[in-house]
């Protein structure tokens, strides 16, 4: 739907047809009744006859079809001839459970059903679900067939409206072991029903708030069929209203069309907005992009002003003064000691201690240079024309025996090499070469054949995390044990050999490994190799989703 907040769907998601056996995910508000019926099928061996009541449109047929879809031996009877009730009913049960040509007469059909059901282990289900208009014949059909039905090793569920069930009488009501009544939907059931049906066409789904339900569905009977009819009408009205009314020949006058539709004001449909969304939906927003360590942060160029030299107050002036030259002094000029640097950075700031150490070192160097006598300056030597630069290392060259160096014409002899400089020995060079050779990484083992190369593609790198896309629905449907594992993985690394988790869950290492692998498959946990062990941590997507649900501290 193009309205804001409602996801795009290609067709009306609010169909009113009864559910089939494969539509268990669309069955809403009947979980308790469904679980009770399944218990009678699996463990309640003494159950023979149950009564399911509910008004028309309450989902009785849908509930029975979903229950029947999980069984191998089940039959759903919807039409019985009241004049030959026992014969017709037993023939239909025979066709549904055994198949083939049924025997003539209810007694022969009952005997064959008894032998077949006893030979094949497992409970069978028989549903008698007549239409509402034929419900008046239900007491007569049950009275004629009850003696045959009670002999069958099967669970028999009779579906009826409260009005038709009131006609059974005390004798027939005593034959039923238990009765289940389908109640009207609550606001939570309505929101869930709308959400699961929209999710069939768009995985985002749409879950209205209670205020929206009370405003738009207040006057509707709280049964599935009536609610779906109202939602379908809202959807169609919204779709037709957004296309706009058809053009009219004259303003203010509506012209009937051939299909019987009169143009007019667009119908008021679903007024949906983002405030009606409840909770975080899947793929609502991607996780925020956080800055990486490689991002360059421009700093303020004026930060170096905190380390400038403090000038005396006598030398600071707003105007430029002319300084007269001082008379020549026969005594040698002695430079005054430099003023020490003073830090303007607060000692409590993050860089206070660093700045103080740097300034102390600078002041110490300046004081040492002032105390040492100045070296006599030598006049710069002029480089001869055509001289070239010579790039050498610092290793001393050994002079040839018997060869003396001659001074250049008009120059002085070269100074001898510094005897304090260590000479590089061949043993040292050999050791350096050996160390460089040992630090070189060994070459990778050769790959022989395509099969080995393909096998190595799937081998994980040591310590590398293995990610999988997060399935948000799996995060919503965690079991108690999985929730404990997720809680531990959000705080630290866990492994299948984690003693604290094994003691808390009371399970073995193999079971904990299964839980971690299943969570990794759904993208809830990431796995990495630590030596010979595997460790699991909470994935980035799961952590962001839990923060979006306000289940973890910090921003999502």
Q: What φ, ψ does residue 529 adopt, rounded to 5°?
A: -95, 125
* Within a domain: 198: no
- What is the CB-side half-sphere exposure of residue 62 using CA atoms within 13 A? 23
Q: What is the CA radius of gyration of the chain?
A: 46
Give, as one character, the DSSP assignment of residue 395.
S
Instruction: Note whether residue 141 is domain-resident.
Output: yes
**Angstrom distances, CA of residue 513 to CA of 192, 287, 334, 469:** 34, 29, 82, 20
Q: Is 534 inside a domain boundary?
A: yes
Tokens 């051939």, residue located = 258
Residue ranges making up the domain that contains 136? 30-181
Q: For 534, phi and psi rounded to 5 degrees?
A: -110, 140
Q: What percent of the chain has pLDDT over 90?
A: 19
pLDDT tens column, 158-175: 999 999 889 888 888 888
Q: Residue with structure tokens 């003696």?
A: 147
Contacts of 61 (CB under 8 A, 6+ apart): 18, 129, 159
C-alpha to C-alpha distance for 268 and 261, rounded to whole angstroms: 17
Q: Indicate the DSSP class of residue 160.
A: E
In a domain, 112, yes or no: yes
Residue 246: other Cβ atoms inside 10 A? 12
* Burial degree of 306 (CB within 10 A; 0-12, 13-18, 19+): middle
> How confident is residue 411, by pLDDT bands cut at 50, 70 and 90?
very low
Residue 406 pLDDT more than 50? no
pLDDT tens digits, 413-457 = 444 444 444 555 677 778 777 777 765 555 555 556 677 666 666
pTM: 0.46
HSE at residue 498, side-chain half, CA atoms within 13 A, is 22
Show which of 140, 156, 181 is a domain's final residue: 181
Comparing 158-167, 362-371, 399-408, 422-431, the range with the smallest average pLDDT is 399-408
- Reported confidence tier of residue 368, pLDDT bands at 50, 70, 90: confident
Q: Which of 165, 181, 197 is the last residue of a domain?
A: 181
Q: Which pLDDT tens digit goes with each residue over 95-142?
A: 888 888 888 888 888 888 888 888 876 678 999 998 888 888 899 999
Q: Residue 53 has what pLDDT?
A: 93
Strand-strand pairing, 525-530 and 533-538? antiparallel
Q: Is residue 173 part of a domain?
A: yes
E strands within 228-350? none
Q: Which residues contact 386 (CB under 8 A, 6 or more apart)?
A: none
Q: Which of 148, 165, 181 is the last residue of a domain?
A: 181
- pLDDT per residue over 41-76, tens digit each? 887 666 678 999 999 999 999 999 998 887 888 899
Task: Answer whether residue 277 is part of any domain.
Answer: no
CA–CA separation, 264 vs 419, rounded Å? 110
In order of 318, 466, 487, 509, the CA distances from 538 in angstroms are 65, 12, 9, 19
486: pLDDT strictly greater than 90: yes
- pLDDT over 80 (residue 1): no
Q: Are 365 and 372 in contact (CB under 8 A)?
A: no
Q: Using CA atoms, how far apart are residues 513 and 444, in angstroms rounded to an integer?
A: 32
Question: Which residues lie closer than 8 Å to 512 by C-beta, 6 or more apart?
Answer: 485, 496, 498, 501, 502, 505
CA nearest 231: which of 489, 500, 486, 6? 6
Contact 441, 502 (CB under 8 A): no
| 203 falls within a domain | no
Report the number of distinct structural domains present in the chain: 2
Q: Which CATH number goes with the domain that contains 75?
A: 3.40.50.300
Name which of 85, 77, 116 is nearest 99 in CA terms.
Answer: 116
- Cα–Cα distance, 456 to 447 (Å, whole number): 9
Best CA proximity match to 482, nearest among 429, 510, 519, 457: 519
Listed in sequence order, the DSSP H helices in 80-173 are: 85-97, 106-119, 138-149, 162-165, 169-173
Q: Give the rounded distance of the alpha carbon of 295 from its chain centre.
A: 27
DSSP-assigned beta bridge partners for residue 466: 527
Cross-strand partners of 181: 53
Across the range 473-502, mean pLDDT stands at 91
CA 545, 551, 554 angle in degrees (round to 5)? 80
Q: How many helical (H) and strand (E) elements, i.e. helices and strands, does the chain have?
A: 18, 7
Which of residues 66 and 405 earns the better pLDDT score? Answer: 66
DSSP E strands: which ranges in 293-435? none
Asked if the model's pLDDT at residue 155 lies above 60, the reply is: yes
d(CA 202, CA 8): 7
Quote the distance between the C-alpha of residue 420 and its chain's center: 69
Q: What is the CATH number of the domain that holds 520?
A: 1.10.10.10
Question: Is 6 a member of any domain?
Answer: no
Burial class, 26, CB count within 10 angstroms (exposed 0-12 / middle 13-18 / buried 19+) = middle
Bridge partner residues of 529 (DSSP): 534
Query: Which is more confident, 411 or 14?
Result: 14
CA distance 297 to 300: 10
């Amino acid at each position: 739907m193009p309205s804001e907040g409602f996801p795009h769907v290609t067709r009306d998601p609010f169909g009113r047809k009864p559910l089939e056996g494969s539509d268990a995910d669309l069955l809403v508000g009947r979980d308790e009744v469904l679980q009770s019926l399944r218990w009678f099928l699996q463990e309640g061996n003494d159950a023979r006859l149950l009564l399911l009541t509910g008004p028309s449109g309450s989902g009785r047929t849908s509930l029975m079809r979903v229950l029947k879809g999980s069984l191998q031996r089940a039959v759903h009877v919807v039409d019985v001839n009241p004049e030959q009730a026992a014969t017709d009913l037993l023939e239909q049960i025979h066709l549904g459970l055994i198949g083939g040509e049924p025997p003539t007469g209810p007694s022969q059909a009952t005997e064959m059903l008894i032998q077949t059901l006893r030979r094949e282990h497992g409970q069978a289900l028989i549903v008698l679900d007549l239409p509402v208009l034929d419900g008046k014949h239900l007491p007569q059909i049950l009275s004629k067939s009850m003696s045959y039905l009670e002999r069958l090793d099967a669970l028999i569920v009779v579906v009826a409206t409260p009005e038709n069930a009131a006609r059974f009488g005390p004798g027939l009501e005593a034959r039923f072991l238990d009765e289940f009544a389908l109640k009207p939907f609550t606001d939570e059931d309505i929101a869930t029903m709308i959400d699961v049906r929209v999710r069939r066409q768009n995985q985002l789904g749409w879950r209205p708030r209670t205020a929206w339900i009370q405003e738009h569905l207040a006057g509707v009977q709280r049964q599935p069929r009536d609610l779906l009819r109202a939602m379908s009408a809202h959807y169609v009205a919204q779709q037709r209203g957004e296309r706009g009314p058809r053009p009219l020949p004259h303003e203010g006058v509506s012209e009937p069309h051939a299909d019987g539709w009169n143009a007019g004001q667009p119908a008021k449909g679903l007024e949906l907005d983002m405030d009606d969304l409840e909770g975080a939906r899947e793929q609502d927003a991607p996780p925020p992009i956080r800055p990486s360590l490689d991002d360059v942060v421009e700093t303020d160029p004026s930060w170096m002003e905190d380390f400038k030299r403090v000038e005396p107050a006598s030398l600071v002036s707003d105007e430029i003064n002319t300084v007269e030259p001082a008379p020549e002094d026969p005594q040698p000029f002695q430079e005054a000691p430099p003023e020490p640097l003073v830090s303007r950075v607060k000692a409590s700031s993050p860089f206070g201690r660093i700045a103080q150490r740097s300034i102390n070192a600078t002041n110490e160097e300046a004081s040492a240079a002032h105390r040492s006598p100045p070296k006599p300056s030598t006049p710069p030597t002029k480089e001869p024309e055509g001289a070239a630069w010579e790039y050498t290392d610092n290793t001393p060259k050994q002079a040839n025996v018997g060869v003396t160096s001659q001074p250049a014409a008009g120059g002085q002899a070269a100074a001898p090499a510094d005897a304090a400089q260590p000479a590089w020995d061949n043993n040292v060079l050999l050791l350096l070469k050996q160390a460089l050779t040992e630090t070189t990484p060994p070459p990778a083992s050769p790959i022989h054949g395509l099969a080995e190369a393909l096998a190595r593609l799937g081998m994980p790198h040591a310590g590398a995390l293995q990610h999988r896309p997060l399935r948000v629905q799996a995060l919503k449907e965690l079991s108690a044990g999985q929730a404990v594992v997720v809680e531990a993985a959000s705080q630290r690394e866990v492994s299948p050999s984690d003693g604290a988790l094994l003691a808390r869950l009371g399970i073995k290492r193999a079971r904990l490994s299964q839980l971690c692998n299943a969570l990794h498959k759904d993208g809830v946990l990431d796995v990495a190799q630590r030596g010979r062990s595997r460790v699991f941590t909470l994935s980035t997507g799961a952590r962001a989703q839990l923060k979006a649900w306000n289940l973890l501290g910090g921003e999502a």
